[in-house]
Amino acid sequence: MTVGGESKGDRGMSGDHRPPRVLVYSHDSFGLGHLRRCRAIAHAMCEDNEELSVLILSGSPIIGSFDFRSRVDFVRVPGVIKLRNGEYTSLTLPMAIEDAIEMRASIIRHTAEVFDPDIMLVDKEPSGLRGELSETLEVMKQRGTHIVLGLRDVLDDPLQLRAEWKRKNAAAALEEYYHEIWVYGLPQICEPLDGIELAASTRRKTTYTGYLQRFADTQTVSELPFIKRDDPFILVTPGGGGDGEELVDWVLRAYESDSSLPHRSVIVLGPFMQSDRRAEFIARTDKLSKVEAITFDAHMESLMVKAIAVVAMGGYNTFCEILSFDKRALIVPRTEPRREQLIRASRAAELGLLTMLRGDDDRKADVMATALRHLPQQDPPSRSVVPGLMAGLENVNILTRRALGLKKRPSLARKRA
């Protein structure tokens, strides 16, 4: 789908001259991925339009730990968490999941009615968590709100995704409520809805934006204690940390078994790692002269700027940061409960953007040690030419302006941080 034309979302810019508003829904029950992606998009939209405001609806328990730009705010709904068996439960409140969902749905609908957005951008789940968006989508449709589904580049293995979407009746929601589908990636890497039975009219709603470029605050970089030393370091990040224990353990065993590794590592354990494992890993790093560990830093981009290379699991946001800052990367993707990271890393490795190490086998310490030794010598992503790779934010802004019926004003200054 090409960028061009206009939609009927200009009601906020004519007649009453009300500044345009965008409501972003992110179910965010666990981890950092959805929240950080929505935050990056919200900031880009407000940088591009000095009148626009964005309100993010999120269930993330740590959304308050992040900085938000002027005209970007959030409403946190009660948190829920997905158990290993696939079921959800209330994160902190002692109530049945059905009651938690009912409460969330009420807050979401009331917020949407009062905020009255020109665009509603829904992250990943067409009907929301356990259908909690259904009533809100109906209200927004009646009001003429431009409704958009935003998808990361990879959702899951097509067979698993097909069963999941059928169970959730997601395709019907797409056909009924959504004007557009924005895929934050490129079809050369993955077509996330491949294999899903969708009407031709629904598929025509899809636009591939490219990946979402990230920017680092240079002032924050200079204030980080772990990068004041001059010697280079490898950044190790398991994302939120809730499912990254095996990666951290593998890296630590590599340093414990081979003291001659040439570069030190800084490990960011993540805010969702179990406290007992976090304590264990910190105790182990205290015994290693070339490894340091911190629990969490909301300015991960700043750490990545200074790193000579990155070891990660390969979630969407980390992948965007690796490409944005042109970092040599070793990806050890998880394969359960979703194969998303494996699919992304495999295709990116084929394109020469990074290297991948499968962790399905014994995770021998010497295998990781060899990979860490070779990592700083591999080609950076920029050595591979993939047209439009990092055009995501600019294309999201183009699509937003079109939906709002706006034209780009050349005098608007674009500031990055």
pLDDT at 406: 65
What are the residues facing 53 on neighbouring strands?
A: 21
Q: Which fold has domain 21-213+390-404?
A: Rossmann fold (3.40.50)
Residue 75 pairs in a beta bridge with 57
Whether the Cβ atoms of residue 101 and residue 132 lie closer than 8 Å to each other = yes
**Under DSSP, is residue 190 helix (H, G, I), strand (E, B) or coil?**
coil
Do residues 45 and 148 lie in contact, with contact meaning Cβ atoms separated by under 8 Å?
A: no
- Give me the DSSP letters along 122-185: EES-TT-GGGTTHHHHHHHHHHT-EEEEEEES--S-HHHHHHHHHHHTHHHHHHHH-SEEEEES
| Residue among 133, 81, 124, 143 nearest 105 (CA) | 133
Tokens of 305: 């700027």
Residue 30 has a pLDDT of: 56
Structure confidence at residue 7 (pLDDT):
39
- With CA atoms as reference, report the closest residue to 23 among 65, 67, 77, 64: 77
pLDDT of residue 398: 97
Specify the pLDDT at position 86: 60
218-383 carries CATH number 3.40.50.2000:
yes
Q: Break the chain into its structural domains and give their ranges.
A: 21-213+390-404, 218-383
pLDDT at position 359 is: 72
Tell me the DSSP string of 306-374. Answer: H-SEEEE---HHHHHHHHHTT-EEEE----SS--HHHHHHHHHHHTTS-EE---SS---HHHHHHHHHH
Nearest Cα neighbor of 400 from 21, 132, 98 is 21
Q: What are the phi and psi torsion angles at 214 (to 5°)? A: -115, 155
Other CB atoms within a 10 A radius of the CB of residue 73 amount to 13
Retrieve residue 279's tokens: 């304590």
* Per-residue pLDDT in tens (0 to 9) along the chain, 417 residues: 534 333 344 444 444 578 999 999 998 665 566 888 999 999 999 999 999 999 999 988 778 778 899 999 999 998 877 666 566 777 778 888 899 999 999 999 999 999 999 999 999 999 999 999 999 999 999 999 999 999 999 998 888 899 989 999 999 999 999 999 999 999 999 999 998 989 999 999 999 999 999 988 655 544 555 555 567 999 999 877 667 899 999 999 999 999 999 999 999 998 778 889 999 999 999 999 999 999 877 678 888 999 999 999 989 999 999 999 999 999 999 888 788 999 999 999 999 999 999 876 689 999 999 999 999 999 999 999 999 999 999 999 999 999 999 655 443 333 443
φ, ψ of residue 22 in degrees (nearest 5): -125, 130
**Between the CA of residue 140 and those of 130, 133, 143, 210, 372, what are the distances in Å?**
19, 10, 5, 28, 51
CA distances from 79 to 90, 96, 99, 133 (A): 6, 12, 12, 15
3-state secondary structure at position 22: strand
Left (φ > 0), alpha (ψ -120 to 50) or beta: where does 379 sit? Answer: beta
Predicted pLDDT of residue 364: 94
| Confidence at residue 345, expressed as pLDDT on a 0 to 100 scale | 96
Same topology, domains 21-213+390-404 and 218-383? Answer is yes
Strand arrangement, sheet containing 119-123: 72-76, 53-58, 21-26, 119-123, 146-152, 180-184, 206-208
DSSP 77: P
Pairing of strands 355-356, 328-331: parallel
Q: What is the rounded distance in angstroms from the CA atom of residue 100 to the CA atom of residue 402?
A: 36
